[in-house]
Chains A and B, each alone.
Chain A
Amino acid sequence: MFKFGSRFRRQFKLVTRLAFEDYGHEWVISGCSVLALSAVLIPLLVLFGLKYGIITNLLDPLIQNPRYREVAPIGSGSFDPEWFDSIQARPEVAFVVPRTRSLAASIKLRAVDSDVGRIIDVELVPSAIGDPVLAEGRGAPSGLIEVVLARTAADKLEVAIDDRLEGILTRTRRDRQESVRLPLRVADIAPITSFARDGLFVSAQLMTAVEDFLDGRAVPELDWEGTAPSTGDRSFAGFRLYARSIEDVPQLRLDLMNQGMEVRTSIADIALVQSLDRNLSIVYWIIALMAIGGYCLSFATSVWANVDRKRREFSVLRLTGFRTEEIVWFPILQAAFTAAFAWTLALAVFLAVQGTLNALFSSTIGGGEPVCRLELQHLISALGMTLVAAVLAAIIGGRRVAQLEPSIGLRDR
């Protein structure tokens, strides 16, 4: 039925022109078929836009907030460097850093450069470059000096980036209170959105130094005295672990539970939104398939009737010398015109409806975000699907063009 020779390329342009002239000549009928198709497309676009908008509004905070990607151990265990190497190597893991025992996870802080004499207790958080909680491309904790301070603590101490801090650690050894001072520098201040408590992000090296000191050991790098310093591979009580995306969390959780540890994740929050998305999608596609199927059926019958009405014109074209494989493009091209025009009209109406819906509802149910929205790729695939559906319907309804004989044009009506 379809051949693509060089003659065909020449004649195809002619057929396209004739099909378009016919389409324009019968603008009332063409306009009706455009309206009929956009009447199907508009509610589908709006429904999909609402589904996408609402799900995006629910999902976006989960995607943007690293908290939902965290897999945190419950209680304490014992994790050696080999374990950290193996977990780090997994593609689902975006960031992992060892965590010391929770007893050894706080420090007193004082600002050196400011007049505020206040000393506050802050939580020590092990961190490193690439910590998803910290802002990307800015100062990160490293070595024994560079630290990142949480916003609340920075406000209390009235310090800014590059200011110096002094950490104060106190331990009881042989019934005697010992205390050391630790010179620190603020590399960055973590935004309140990523960490809302008084916290200090420090390197793993500094974290272990603090743990060693509190355990009564010596820390030679900082000239702290004590029992023999720890040597060789050490194990850690816990870790801070973030998955690459929220989709990776369930698998990581399952694997860690299979290793015998209990973990805490935000999996339930994510699963809720995901199952909502899935169910809405099912409902949407049932509606869409019924609408598109019904439309295809009615479009195919109207193409059938049109071909029947125009069979004399088609046979005149055959008599003039057009071949069957050129004539069959007539209804197909006209269906494509209808699809393209209907999509354009539907897009215009969708944009208007979208604007109205967003103005009406975004402040109440959208939380300031638009409740109805579509991405460019949605619109392009809508165009693609519309074209495919219309062309398929035209092929079904227009098959009889191929069976038309040139003699019909010669015969009496």
Chain B
Amino acid sequence: MIPHLDIVRGAKLAFIGESGSGKSTLLELLAMILMPSRAGTFGFAPLPSQAARDVDAIWQHRDSDQLSELRSRYIGYVLQHGGLLPYLTVRKNIELPRVLLDLPVDDVAVDLAAKLGIEQQLDKLPATLSVGQRQRAAIARALAHEPPIVIADEPTAAIDPLNATRIIELLSDLTEALGVTLILATHAHDLVERGGFSLISHEIRSIDEQRMTVTVSNV
């Protein structure tokens, strides 16, 4: 249950909680992957020039193609384990969202890789990279198609604290510089405290095996 949650364009939000606390559920709701059982209003206005889309209405029509269109165009993801395709080079992984949207590829991969410090790894396969480098590549992929929103679910869960801090900083700085809304889920409180994130706490209550209630409140 989300009584009220406005996410302003350009905001930096962090959901803090232990694993299994419902962070992923929240992110899936926001990413329009999970269908809410009931929704009052679910407006999605990624760009200032566009009127808000009524996501709840799209859900009611079961129009998964439209949802996936919204998702691929306006949202970038950083997954917990990177989620890079093992058979593509880092460069092709980063370029994939642009190719899919029929956008010009240009030097986007090189630019982002330079900013993230992985320009030496562009033509390697993900398996030959360290975990930290993989997460940087995943951040580059999430930003490649210039989405107004980036969602990151525990992006540093498998990384040592020092590296993790550095990566969160990079992610935070990059999204800020690009004016991208960043929604981050993490269990590491200290990582986000310094980054100027708005913290969102939430409380979870199971109704039954399929359903649960997540109550969100601003801190």
Contact = CB atoms under 8 A, between A and B. Distances in A.
A411 B81 CA distance: 10
B28 A407 contact: yes
Given A313-B85, A410-B79, A323 B28 contact: no
A410 B31 contact: yes
A319 interface: yes
B62 to A, nearest CB: 13
A24 interface: yes
B58 interface: no
B9 interface: no
Contact of B87 (A26, A321, A324, A413): A26
Interface stretch (B41-49, B66-74, B194-202): B66-74
Q: Classify chain A's interface size.
A: 20 to 34
B15 to A, nearest CB: 13
Contacts of A410: 24, 27-28, 31, 33, 77, 79-80, 153
B209 interface: no
B10 interface: no
Contacts of A318: 68
A18 B69 contact: no
Interface stretch (B92-100, B105-113, B129-137, B171-179): B92-100
B117 interface: no
Nearest to A7: B102
Contacts of B88: 18, 21
Nearest to B157: A412
A231 interface: no
Interface string B125-155: 1000000000000000000000000000110
Nearest to B31: A410
B86 A313 contact: yes
Given A410-B79, A412-B80, A25 B33 contact: no
A199 interface: no
Given A21-B88, A316-B85, A410-B33, A14 B99 contact: yes
Given A320-B72, A321-B73, A406-B33, A21 B24 contact: no
A345 B65 CA distance: 41
Contacts of A322: 68, 100
Contacts of B217: none
A234 interface: no
Contact of B79 (A10, A14, A25, A316): A316
A409 B151 CA distance: 13
Interface residues of B, number: 34
A277 interface: no
Nearest to A3: B65
A25 B87 contact: yes
A320 B24 contact: no
Contacts of A225: none
Interface string A7-24: 000110010001001101
Given A18-B88, A323-B65, A407-B28, A11 B33 contact: no
Interface string A394-413: 00000000000111011111
Interface in A311-357: 312-313, 316-324
Contacts of A14: 99-100
B34 interface: yes
Given A410-B24, A410-B28, A410-B77, A321 B71 contact: yes
Contacts of A11: 100
Q: Which of B34, B71, B83, B154 has the most CB of A within 10 A?
A: B83
A412 B84 CA distance: 15
B67 to A, nearest CB: 9
A322 B96 CA distance: 11
Contact of A320 (B80, B100, B125, B153): B100
Contact of B83 (A22, A25, A312): A312
A211 to B, nearest CB: 87
A18 B84 CA distance: 13
B81 A407 contact: no
A18 B87 CA distance: 8
The CB with the most chain B CB atoms within 10 A, among A24, A319, A323, is that of A319
In this complex, the member of A11, A21, A22, A320 whose beta carbon has the largest number of chain B beta carbons within 10 angstroms is A320
B80 A25 contact: no
A324 B100 CA distance: 14
Contacts of B19: 412
A319 B100 contact: no
B39 interface: no
B87 A409 contact: no
Interface string A273-298: 00000000000000000000000000
A378 to B, nearest CB: 36
B57 interface: no
Contact of A316 (B27, B83, B153): B83
B34 A407 contact: yes
Contacts of B24: 410-412
A250 to B, nearest CB: 61
B52 interface: no
A83 to B, nearest CB: 74
Contacts of A316: 79, 83-85
B83 A21 contact: no
19 contacts: A10-B102, A11-B100, A14-B99, A18-B88, A24-B87, A313-B85, A316-B83, A316-B85, A319-B33, A319-B71, A319-B77, A320-B72, A320-B96, A323-B68, A409-B83, A410-B24, A410-B28, A410-B31, A411-B24
Nearest 4 A/B pairs, CB to CB: A321-B72, A25-B87, A22-B87, A316-B83
Given A319-B79, A407-B34, 16 more contacts: A18-B87, A21-B87, A21-B88, A24-B87, A25-B87, A312-B83, A316-B83, A319-B33, A319-B71, A319-B72, A321-B69, A321-B97, A409-B79, A410-B33, A410-B77, A412-B154
